[in-house]
Amino acid sequence: MTRIAIFDFGAGNLFSLHQSLHRNGAQTVDIIRTLDGLEKYDGLVLPGVGNFDSAISSMQKDAVMLNTAVNDGLPILGICLGLEMLFNKSEEGILDGLKVLEGEVLMLPRKRVKVPHMGWNNLRIVMTDSNLLKGIPQDSWVYFVHSYHIEPNDEKLVAATTDYGSKLPVVVERSNLFGTQFHPEKSGKIGAQIMKNFVNVCEKNE
Amino acid sequence: MPLSKRIIPCLDVDNGRVVKGVKFRGVKDAGDPVELAKKYSDQGADELVFLDITASKQDREIMKSMVKKVASVIDIPFTVGGGIKTLADAREILLNGADKVSINTASVKNPELVTELMKIFGRQCVVVAIDVKRNYGIHDKHNATSGPDKDYYFEVMIYGGSKGTGIDAIQWAKKVEELGAGEILLTSIDADGTKNGYDIELTNTICNNVRIPVIASGGCGSTEHMVEVFNKTDVDAVLAASIFHYDKLTLEKVKINLARKGIQTRL
């Protein structure tokens, strides 16, 4: 029985994400506001709603526990903001990021492209043995809504990119730590497959 | 590669049912919103828009439960509009699973609402719907944006298109971008219901004056009309209602036709 927790930053709609995890194989999906008791779960999702500083504030006291969970290999999926938070810092806020991954988060280039980057764009998969992108065809369409983008120091983390003004890293993967700049829970059948892949990783970890 | 162009079916909802009618005349039942949402989503719709056309008090409860049911069955983004007047109205819709709220009259009456929504939920949740009609009256003060050679200006209309505001649509579009809108849903009242095609002049003018995505609405009668507006303007998405009802045309067919004409969509 796969149990997955969604961390609530207190910033809005988690209903779609909750439903998506259920539809794609998770038996129990709980919304949590603290990482106390995280050991009950087979995976953790950091959702993509809210803004950087308030999300970081809501997690600050749990930062150590999060780092421990990452090191222990708990499957974690950061979506959009939930991915951006994992880095050192962001141009969206003044607080430090969670520093799980090295790198920073920058504003999209307003002069060259419309911001937010909103709509369906293609995935260029660069990590051929990605677990999160297993079975996902090259150039698949996924749904983006974001104004900031990640800039990881280590290129080897990048599992897929997309073109928007420049080549943006949009999927990262390091063992059981995953992140997507787009919203898999809103990306139709392709997104559903990505959610299934994550749930499968959680199941193995059970 | 640029973003794909989005095709967005619009469902008018009255008392929990999808209805289709021409301007309040002969409103016809077109089905269950949850079933239609699932069907359009499975067929390849890029997003969905639900407009609550009655928006009475008891209707808000029905809408809330509909939003929840829709969010349980589809995995594409959806917007809910119609009768959203306050922050509380918007919050209720968003917390029940909608990805975006569309506000129209309320944004004109209370522009701070746009900013408040943006601050709490993020710009991407805030769609400002602008209904526009050409006004051939006195418009000296609008010449700067509509052009001195024109004998009309684009006027923002409210209350379902029934009331003029005297506000120039170009200035208003720029203003809502500043206020915090993430997207503009632009309806041409002149074109709406005609099935003669989107309002190219209006769409082009607004797209050239804002940096946020614009959705064209009003006048679509065929795939050709979508091709035309995508080719002649910088618009990001099109809204269409009647062509998808009663299975006259499926999303798949529309997208295949668009692809043949060189328009990039998600297939």
Q: pLDDT tens for residues B40-81? A: 999 999 999 999 887 666 677 888 899 999 999 999 999 999
Whether the ω angle into residue A116 lies within 30 degrees of 0, i.e. cis, is yes
* Residue whose entry in the numeric block shows the structure tokens 């050991």: A39
In the sheet where A148-152 sits, what is the strand order?
A: A89-90, A103-107, A148-152
CA B242 to chain centroid, in Å, comes to 14
Cβ atoms of B156 and B169 within 8 Å: the answer is yes
How far apart, in Å, do the first and last CA atoms of chain A sit? 8
How many domains are there within chain B?
1
A118 lies within 8 A of chain B by CB: yes
Per residue in B7-32, pLDDT (tens digit) is: 999 999 988 888 876 554 556 777 89
How far apart, in Å, do the first and last CA atoms of chain B sit? 15
Per residue in A31-54, pLDDT (tens digit) is: 999 999 999 999 999 998 778 998
d(CA B133, CA B13): 24
Please report how the helices B251-260 and B33-43 are oriented relative to each other, as an axis angle in degrees rounded to 10. Answer: 30
Cβ contacts of B87 on chain A, cutoff 8 Å: none
Q: Indicate whether B1 belongs to any domain.
A: no
Looking at the domain A3-205, which fold is it? Rossmann fold (3.40.50)
Rg (CA), chain B: 17
Per residue in B229-241, pLDDT (tens digit) is: 999 999 999 999 8
Min CA distance, B26 vs chain A (Å)? 35
Q: What is the mean pLDDT of residues B111-122?
A: 91
- CB atoms inside a 10 Å sphere around CB B223: 21
Q: If DSSP codes are grouped into helix, strand and coil, which group holds residue A15?
A: helix
ipTM: 0.88
The CATH number given to whatever domain includes residue B229 is 3.20.20.70
Pairing relationship of beta strands A124-125 and A158-164 according to DSSP bridges: antiparallel
Rg (CA), chain A: 15
Pair of tokens at residue B16: 């929990």
Contact A145 B6 (CB under 8 A): no
Known catalytic residue: B75? no
Pairing relationship of beta strands B237-240 and B163-168 according to DSSP bridges: unpaired
**Domain around B121:** 6-260
CA atoms lying within 13 Å on the CB side of residue A168:
28
Report the pLDDT value the prediction gives residue B24, as an integer from 0 to 100.
44
Residues 152-191 of B with CB under 8 A from A: 182-183
- Write down the pTM of the prediction: 0.91
Cβ contacts of B117 on chain A, cutoff 8 Å: none
Known catalytic residue: A185? yes
Q: How large a percentage of chain A has pLDDT more than 90?
A: 84
Kindly state the DSSP code that residue A136 receives in the 8-state scheme.
Answer: P
